[in-house]
């Protein structure tokens, strides 16, 4: 796992040509792994996708999204069962 230390920028210029602290991370221009990456002309897809796939972050994001959806489905099933039980109780008492 690569840890990127982000130092505060001393530049006050934030125009389109100025770089930010995150440019190298999102553009896939990590200096530590620069020699391992092919030149930009050979890369296919966008830079964010390449960065996520090269560091296996994409699979982590997909796993988290899957867990969230499973949690939502479990909550809906549980709520449906409780409502059904309440409806049956109301039918029995009336």
pLDDT per residue over 12-26, tens digit each? 555 555 666 566 656
pLDDT at res. 91: 92
pLDDT at 75: 98
Domain ranges (residues) in the chain: 13-55, 56-94
Q: Per mean pLDDT, which of 26-30, 59-63, 81-85 is the most reliable?
A: 81-85
Angstrom distance (rounded) from CA 67 to CA 73: 10
10 Å Cβ neighbour count for 27?
A: 15
Highest mean pLDDT among 21-30, 55-64, 68-77: 68-77
pTM equals 0.45
Rounded Cα distance between 55 and 82, Å, is 43
The Cα–Cα gap between 26 and 82 comes to: 46
Mean pLDDT score, 58-67? 92
DSSP assignment string, 5-46: P-PPP-----STTS--TTHHHHTT--GGGTTTSPPTTT--S-
Tokens found for residue 36: 């391992």
Of 31 and 7, the one with more pLDDT? 7
């Amino acid at each position: 796992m690569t840890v990127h230390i982000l130092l505060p920028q001393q530049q006050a210029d934030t125009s389109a040509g100025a770089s930010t602290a995150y440019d190298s991370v999102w553009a896939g221009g990590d200096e530590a792994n620069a020699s391992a990456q092919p030149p930009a002309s050979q890369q296919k897809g966008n830079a964010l996708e390449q960065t996520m796939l090269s560091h296996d972050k994409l699979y982590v994001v997909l796993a988290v999204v899957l867990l969230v959806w499973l949690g939502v489905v479990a909550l809906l099933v549980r709520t449906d069962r409780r409502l059904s039980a309440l409806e049956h109780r109301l039918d029995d008492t009336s």
